[in-house]
Chains A and B, each alone.
Chain A
Amino acid sequence: MGESKLDLLQGTLDLMVLQTLTSMGDMHGYGIARRIEQVSGDEVLLNQGTIYASLVRLQQRGWIAAEWGTSENNRKAKFYSITKRGRKQLAEDAAYWQRLSSVMGRVLAMGDEGGER
């Protein structure tokens, strides 16, 4: 079914969550999941439920914090916010991803030229 969707690489979901919280401010789990789906243009294969494993992992690492609150339509929900250490981590990880993706781009670009030698 999800042939055309991207499988998430290890650790990418964490990065997406951190980025989402940075750009959008405090959010609950559902909101984060929806936001990732929207931004990715529904290209990412994401069972929304998997977000909770990621959230608890980030929380235990101290990169995000959680607090119970009330949602826009008056539901009790857990709201997550990025911490200072989370921001630092995000900066590091984002830089890493950028480097990796540019390298991957270059490597894959040389494919058809039949090699350099």
Chain B
Amino acid sequence: MKNSMMDSMLRGWLRLGSFFRKKPLDRELDEEIEAHLGMAVAENLRRGLSLQEARRQAMIRFGGVPQAKERQRQERGVPGLDVLLQDLRYTVRTLGRDRLFAVIAVLILALGIGANIAVFSVVNTILLRPLPFQDPQRLVWIAPADANGLSASTYSADAYDDLLAQNRSYDDVTGYFAFSTSDNFKLTGHGEPIPVTGIGVAGNFFHMLGVEPALGRSFTKDESIKGGRAVVLLAHPFWERQFGGDRGIVGRPITLDGRPVTVVGVLPDTFDFGAVFSPGAKVDILVPQVMDDIRNQGNTLALIGRLKPGVSVAQAQAEATVLFPKFFWSKKYPDSAGNYSAKPIELKEHVSGRLRRSLIVLWCAVGLILLIVCVNLSNLLLARAAARSKEFALRSALGAGRGRLVRQLLTESLVLAGMGAVLGLGLAYGIISYLRHQGSIALPLLGSVEVDGAALLWTLAISVGASVLFGLLPGLKISGSNLQEALKDSGQGMSEGRSHERMRSALVISEVALACVLLIGAGLLLRSFMRVLDVDLGFQPSTAAAIKVDYNDGGSVEKRSAILEEVLRRVRAIPGVEAAGITDNLPLERNRGWGGPRAKGKVYRNGDVPGAFVYIVSPGYVAAMGMRLRGRDFGWQDSMKGENTVILNEAAARFLWPGEDAVGKIALIGKSEVRVIGVVADVHETNVEGKAGEQMYLPTMRDEWGPDGAELVVRTKLPPAQLAGSVLRTLRELNPNQPAVEFRPIQGIVDHAVSPRRFFVLLVTIFAGLGLVLASLGIYGVISYSVTRRTQEIGIRMALGATPGRVQLGVISTTLRMALVGIAVGAVASMVVARLIASMLFGTAPTDPMTFAVMILLLGGVAVLAGYVPARRASQINPMVALRNN
């Protein structure tokens, strides 16, 4: 048994070997047969036959020499491989002869396949691949079910401690400080102060995720306890950028915010905190979060748990509903328990769940493109097939079977698809390396998108699939055509039947229908995007910019006020500055929520007061942001010396005093009584597309509200970049330690917030445009071909008195008929598709008549245009020439 297997393996090997040694083996066989015949002739001669008869007998006994050789060749080699090689050789020759066709086909295929590879790589990275952590399927994101904004999805340090102590579901729970802003650290000792973005993480963070530092070690337990050693881990890109990849940095101190901090390690290249937890942000360093430091700051920790093996997410959820209501906001306040809830979900779901639908839509759109490409190519091949029908008829007359012909045609399609795939891979590689460097797109994991093994497999699958799809129909069509008819008719005027043309029309119609679906889908998304851009944000993002201001007030509110007043006075004096103000948080960025304001004198039940977003601002901020204010803005007099004041947004004012003017009323914030001096329009604080929550603006001049950092907002008529230098110079004059942070246009913050939608809309629109071009190419091809074919007929008609205008009209109406059928089918399909993407639309109905009308007109117009070119040619046919030619 074993022997025979060895034998067949050996034989297969030898066969393959013979395939590559064709020439010498053939020569050897020739010699052998020659010797054979020689001996036979000699023997016959000895038997007394004449030379001629001896030869004849020898040949008869031998049988056909070519047949014997062929049988031997088949026996020793790999017959399929031989045929394939023949087909390939033939393909290269025919395609070489029809170079224009080959180039067009390969280009179209490259576009289709390339777009598919690129989108697949994105989908694969964001949706399909597991997160780059150890056992990622056991990681869960612990947050309330309906978390809106970070503040609502975080927990206090006391709650974290209790969760660690009381849970039975998790191997471990970790967390990070969720309210760090960009450039929140200052690295000194390397020339000018360098702004650095750092995140505080629980001591067990890396251990729990299973991330091993590339160099050095991660944090130890005592380093996240108050008074522990000051240590830092460097992110890989920051280490390379700032320290030139110096391995000796580990163990050495660096100066952060004026304190020496020891570098204990460098994180691996594969770990990107921003990519997973805050898409579109770069994180340079990670520091251990000392829990005691934030114990009084409320809900600041985002929590991640690692489920015990065998514990399901549902079990963890069930436990959470019992456990979380017992946790304290702060144990100093015994009545602060009972406000928490949590619904743990898979971390992967948290990171990319929201994007699933968009990505799938994108995937489908790009799949449609490939389908259109296939239809288009099928059409091109059919047209070519008509011209080649005689060649195939001849081959089949010479004995080629139908299977052999289809095989030949499929080889051609495979070669085309293969070349398209290679070019497409290049294209996809270009797109992906472009995308990877779009740090401003707030999509998770975008930086790690690559053409990996899975993408290559996908490429192979779609290329083969596509080539079968577009090659099979023409193949069957040709090989099934009537041999005699094809050979018989020699005129080029009528070489193909009506059915052939009908099939091509059907293909074009389906192409138009597919393009129609793409266009309407893209149109709806585009309209939604424009609606999003039109949203009244509650502030004016254009012509304003923000810069982070570094200052040291030593904890004194008077000193802080004095510093900030001086900063604003100097900045407002810069030519071109219209308004300036300071806030600690900018909308659409980090946000922070406190217990909301209450109307003085009203009684609220526990849980009735919604949380409010808090902004601690200077006088002038409201104007600098371009917010609409009723009442008055803060003045520097609203300090500890004056009355405690607040500005509310409409949502908060409405909740507190429905139907009344809030200005002048007294509200309670925590235990403080504050007078409402103004009401501003709702600002979109969390996202552009959602609704605004309650907001309160508090003066930075009061001791009760400690601001967390300072963002200077400057409004100007000049392009913000033009002011960057002078603003930074002014800040440096006041504080030499001011790091060279970015002067960020507020519009950029808004753009960042809408970047995922922009990304999807841009891609879908490009695909729709591609679909439109391909469909019009298809229409052009078919109409143009039919005009060429009917040159004689048109000539006769014109000779009989048809005017050029009439001929032209005839051709265009044919085009229009095809386009209209396609559009009708496409429009119906679009209604279904539009319903499927309804949840992705914003302010646009899935049946938006405007979008449907515009896109249908666009498609119809392009179709007519594609038909017009051949129609014009038809009308210019000279009847005499046309008739003489045939």
Contacts and interface: CB of A to CB of B under 8 A. Distances in A.
B592 to A, nearest CB: 80
Interface in A1-38: 28-31, 33-34
Contacts of B15: 60
A49 B68 contact: yes
Contact of B72 (A48, A53, A62, A73): A53
Given A48-B61, A57-B75, A61-B11, A29 B32 contact: yes
Contacts of B75: 53-54, 56-57
A61 B63 contact: no
Contacts of A28: 35-36, 39
A47 B63 contact: yes
Contacts of B43: 34
A49 B7 contact: no
Interface in B358-409: none
Interface string B52-83: 00000000011111011101101110000000
A82 B791 CA distance: 73
A33, A53, A76, most chain B CB atoms within 10 A: A53
Given A52-B29, A61-B7, A47 B39 contact: no
A117 interface: no
Interface residues on A, range: 20 to 34
A78 interface: yes
A12 to B, nearest CB: 16
Given A49-B67, A49-B68, A75-B38, A60 B11 contact: yes
B35 A77 contact: yes
A29 B76 CA distance: 16
A52 B67 CA distance: 11
A76 B69 CA distance: 19
Interface string B140-162: 00000000000000000000000
A33 B65 CA distance: 15
B4 to A, nearest CB: 9
B477 to A, nearest CB: 38
A30 B33 CA distance: 9
B40 interface: yes
Contact of A53 (B38, B64, B71): B71
B76 A56 contact: yes
Contact of B68 (A30, A53, A78): A53
B10 interface: yes
Contacts of B536: none
A86 to B, nearest CB: 11
A17 B7 CA distance: 19
A62 B7 contact: yes
A96 B472 CA distance: 47
Contacts of B7: 61-62
Nearest to B58: A48
A34 B36 CA distance: 11
Contacts of A30: 35-36, 39-40
Given A60-B11, A60-B15, A49 B63 contact: yes
A73 B62 CA distance: 20
A75 B76 contact: no
Interface string B1-35: 00100010011001100000000000011011101
A106 B537 CA distance: 100
Given A49-B67, A49-B68, A50-B71, A78 B11 contact: no
Given A56-B76, A61-B11, A48 B39 contact: no
Interface string B68-103: 110110111000000000000000000000000000
A56 B622 CA distance: 93
Nearest to A56: B76
A29, A52, A71, A75, most chain B CB atoms within 10 A: A52
A61 B11 CA distance: 6
Nearest to A78: B32
A73 B10 CA distance: 36
B42 interface: yes
Nearest to B66: A49
A28 B32 CA distance: 9
A78 B10 CA distance: 22
A42 B14 CA distance: 34
A11 to B, nearest CB: 13
A54, A56, A78, A85, most chain B CB atoms within 10 A: A56
A34 B43 CA distance: 11
Nearest to A55: B72
B63 A73 contact: no
Contacts of B68: 47, 49-50, 52-53
Interface in A62-109: 62, 71, 73, 75-78, 85
A33 B32 CA distance: 13
Contact of A49 (B28, B35, B42, B65): B65
B10 A29 contact: no
Contacts of A71: 35, 39
Contacts of B67: 49
A75 B38 CA distance: 9
Contacts of A77: 32, 35-36, 39
B684 to A, nearest CB: 77
A34 B62 CA distance: 11
A47 B62 contact: yes
Contact of B35 (A33, A53, A78, A85): A78
A52 B762 CA distance: 66
A56 B33 CA distance: 13
A48 B63 contact: yes
A31, A48, A85, most chain B CB atoms within 10 A: A48
A33 B33 CA distance: 12
15 contacts: A28-B36, A30-B36, A31-B39, A34-B43, A47-B63, A47-B64, A47-B68, A48-B36, A48-B63, A49-B68, A52-B71, A71-B35, A73-B42, A75-B38, A76-B31
**Closest 9 pairs (CB-CB, A-B):** A47-B63, A49-B68, A53-B71, A53-B75, A49-B63, A30-B36, A56-B76, A60-B14, A30-B39
